[in-house]
Amino acid sequence: MSSWLHRNGWWLVGLTGLLAFTILKWSHLFLPAYWDEAWSYLPAVKAMAEGIPGLWPGVIDAELYKGHPLFFYFLQGLWAKVLGFHLWAAKLLCLLFALLLLVQTYRVGFRLTGNRWSGLVPAILIGVHGMLLAQSTLVLPEVLMAALVLWSGYAYWQHRYWQAGVLMLLAVLTKESAIIFAGALGLHYLLNMAWHWRQLNGWRSALHLLYLSVPIVGYGLFLVWQHQLYGWWFYPDHVDRMLRGWAVLQARSQAFFDILFLFNNLRYLTAAFVVALVVVLVRKQKLNGRFLSMSALMIVTFWLFSAFNFFSNRYLLVLLPLVILSLWHIIVVAIPKSSLKAVVGVVLVGLVAWGTWDKRNWGDANPWHTKLVQLHASAADYLAEQEAQPDSIATHFLMTYYLTEPIAGYVTPQDTFSHVFNWPVEGAKWLLVSNIEKEPWLEEWKHRPDFEQTWRQEYPEVGWVEIYRKR
């Protein structure tokens, strides 16, 4: 028995971790939808599920997929053909993507040094980080993109260029921002060619570059087809939200650094990395330079892209595995004893898990959004109890969608609210106010003498919802 445990203990630890993650997230499969998941992605997934799933522009209406590539919607459409279109089923597929990301993180970390702690600690760090805990049961493409980008980077690091190209193509077809990573891998290969130009094999190098260009060519064809159909290359509303001014550039750059290196108690991992880097340099210890330089280039290029592109915190999930793997690799190399590696790893995991308890509202990049969902659902239930479906209701954008669209999971098709507005409407019978989307006019109206508060619910440090009725 002891010999069997010695041989299979690490597998048991890994499977136990995946099972624990699944159990932790299982109840969230049955929550209503939240934010972009509700009003942006779910309608497109439903349209794909109701038709013939495809990857080409025009397979569903452009206003539904908003110019994004269609691989995520395609997979969700195929999944719905098997299980039917249900919100819980769409969330379950995203949970499977999260498990794939955790497995791939362990695999890469283990291959870096051959030490099990090199893979296990990064996988657990990502598993307890708030950003993955939040997105693993949201119908959003970022988790799938993160898994595919990491897998592609791993294949490139292992010199499997055709595999890297195909996987990165799938990442780009999941979300177009992955094209930055395709360019980063190509640039890394060119720099490596220049560094080792004396050992170049011209034909082989050309073939490798051809493989790495597959994502760029594939996405280029998608854009040409899209332009032919609609007359635009990128969704116009997204283009309008790109960088506006130096102050925005600075704010986004600061947010990029804070989220990846400081928030969620990653500051302790970063501090340990700085100390370990000094130790490694002093001792002149050998690092995996190919992986580290590849990761650094991918991180820097995506930082530049993020500084100019429309920005949301959740978009940085794609870099989280690369950052954690790179920092932990240097820490592991600096620590000579396996037992000490374990101690440092356990401490860092505990600190990052503790950081996840930060209840500040990061929207769909913070697991505490589940409490906001429950608050919104309770508000919808209260209005239904008051039989307010035919009444005029003034509220913020998200709640307008939740009360009128059954797809979001807050109301049934028979109980939708027919007169809900997210602008000042004289004659409104109800006001629904929350801290999730602060509307100045709602804050002003709720203090008017002709409205009285009839219901309030709060989750401490996370959010609150109030409902006012006209006297």
Question: Which domains, ranges and CATH numbers included, belong to the chain?
Answer: 2-365 (no CATH), 369-470 (3.40.190)
**411 in Cβ contact with 402 (< 8 Å):** yes
Closest CA relative to residue 41, chosen from 66, 75, 78? 66
Q: How far apart are CA 302 and CA 149, in angstroms?
A: 12
DSSP label at 121? H
How confident is the model at residue 4, as a pLDDT? 56
User: Dihedral, CA atoms, 51, 410, 314, 273, nearest 10 degrees?
Assistant: -130
How many CA atoms within 13 Å lie on the side-chain side of 233? 6
As given in the structure block, the two tokens for residue 427 are 């004659």
d(CA 256, CA 152): 23
Q: Hey, is 117 helix, strand or coil?
A: helix
Within 10 Å of residue 145's Cβ, how many Cβ atoms? 27
pLDDT of 76 reads 98
**From CA 216, how far away is CA 178, in angstroms rounded?**
10
- How confident is the model at residue 5, as a pLDDT? 52
Cα 77-69-405 angle, rounded to 5 deg: 55
- CA quadruple 131, 133, 139, 142: dihedral sign: positive
What are the two backbone dihedrals, phi and then psi, of residue 433, each rounded to the nearest 5 degrees?
A: -120, 140
CA-based nearest residue to 40, from 81, 71, 86, 73: 73
Distance, CA of 368 to CA of 455 (rounded, Å): 22
Q: What is the number of alpha carbons within 13 Å of residue 179 lying toward its C-beta? A: 14
What are the Cα distances from residue 8, in Å, to 20, 76, 168?
A: 18, 35, 33
Question: How many angstroms separate the Cα of 95 from the Cα of each of 46, 85, 351, 423?
Answer: 18, 16, 24, 36
Separation between Cα atoms, residue 262 and residue 189, nearest integer Å: 31
pLDDT in tens, the chain (471 residues): 556 555 566 778 889 999 999 999 999 999 999 999 999 999 999 999 999 999 999 999 999 999 999 999 999 999 999 999 999 999 999 999 999 999 999 999 999 988 888 999 999 999 999 999 999 999 999 999 999 999 999 999 999 999 999 999 999 999 999 999 999 999 999 999 988 776 767 789 999 999 999 999 999 999 999 999 999 999 988 777 776 667 778 888 899 999 999 999 999 999 999 999 999 999 999 999 999 999 999 999 999 999 888 888 999 999 999 999 999 999 999 998 889 999 999 999 999 999 998 766 557 889 999 999 999 999 999 999 999 999 999 999 999 999 999 999 999 999 999 999 999 988 899 999 998 888 899 999 999 999 999 999 999 888 999 999 999
- Any idea which residue has 């203990």 for tokens? 9
Helix (H, G, I), strand (E, B) or coil at 420: strand
C-alpha distances out from residue 238 to 140, 173, 298, 432, Å: 17, 17, 23, 29
Amino acid 244: pLDDT: 66
Q: What is the pTM of this model?
A: 0.95
